[in-house]
Amino acid sequence: MNKKIRWGIIGCGDVTEVKSGPGFQKSEGSELIAVMRRNGKLAEDYARRHNVPKWYDDAHKLINDPDVDAVYIATPPSTHKEYTLAVASAKKPVYVEKPMALNYRECAEMADACRNNNVPLFVAYYRRALPRFLKVKSLLESKSMGEISSVSIKFLQKPSEKDTDPSNWRVDPSIAGCGYFCDLGSHMIDLIQFFLGKIIDASGSTSNQSKLYLAEDTVSAAFKFESGILGSGIWSFTSYQNIDETEIIGSKGKIVYSTFADEPIKLLVENKTEEFRIEHPPHVAQPLIQLVVNDLLGKGICPSTGETGAYTSFVMDKILGRI
């Protein structure tokens, strides 16, 4: 492969404007050379504003462009499988947005297709590479809080006007896989496994309490890690307040962090509290994109793969009662 990975993006919408798109241009050994959107005028506009040489309104033309080495799929989950299978068939590496697909069954098909075509598959769970969360992992590995026994995840969010916006696909299960739990909860389930290892058993309950949309708006879960650590979680998108807090409890103390909110990490040991405030980079997906590029160039190993992404979907399907 070239010394630079030449990327194409399928679905150059809002998520690629700041969060991810510039990361392909700014990462070492990486270059963004083509973008695609079904609306050709919007694709052309994106290419002009971001200085991308080529634009398409047909995904298959981008996929089969001989100048494109690898493809980032940034569409909603309902098309992840279709495009992943097409890119794999073209023998090109795939980097797909999270959640990896509508459900675990689709994830398994995607992983099989990439394996059968001998191409790597990566998933955009970019929190695995952000300095703030690497600090959490480092604190856990230091065992300063003793032996870990349990985890508590609490994510509460107030309803908003977007909940009833017909264009909000994130609450349409046919496009998103479920409701906001698939969009936001997936990050939290993936991240806690990055910290503590595989969840081997999970169950849950769901409810649509507000009736603002078809998807569930409340999810509760109980889960067990391979190590024996026990966990629980509650996700409510119809709350009177916003709370984003994960507690990892040990024999000598605990770590508290927020997955989305800009709050410091807190380490509480023996009645003493230490805080760590670590800012995110301007393009939050760039650190993981760099690891993907390094992996493709044989310079490292990316921690977010088709295998880890599919397993996150497996755990979510268990919580949602789908398997």
Domains, the chain: 5-125 (3.40.50.720), 131-279 (3.30.360.10)
Close Cβ partners of 304 (under 8 Å, ≥ 6 residues apart): 122, 123, 124, 125, 126, 128, 129, 190, 288, 291
pLDDT digits (tens, 9 = 90+) for 85-142: 999 999 999 999 999 999 999 999 999 999 999 999 999 999 999 999 999 999 999 9
CA 91 to chain CA mean position, Å: 24
> Which burial class, exposed, middle or buried, applies to 227 when counting CB atoms under 10 A from its CB (0-12, 13-18, 19+)?
exposed
Tens digits of residue pLDDT in 226-275:
999 999 999 999 999 999 999 999 999 999 999 999 999 999 998 899 99
pLDDT score of 3:
87
C-beta of residue 175 within 8 angstroms of C-beta of residue 78: yes
Sorting pLDDT into bands at 50, 70 and 90, what band is 10? very high
Is 47's pLDDT higher than 70?
A: yes
199-207 and 54-56 strand pairing: unpaired
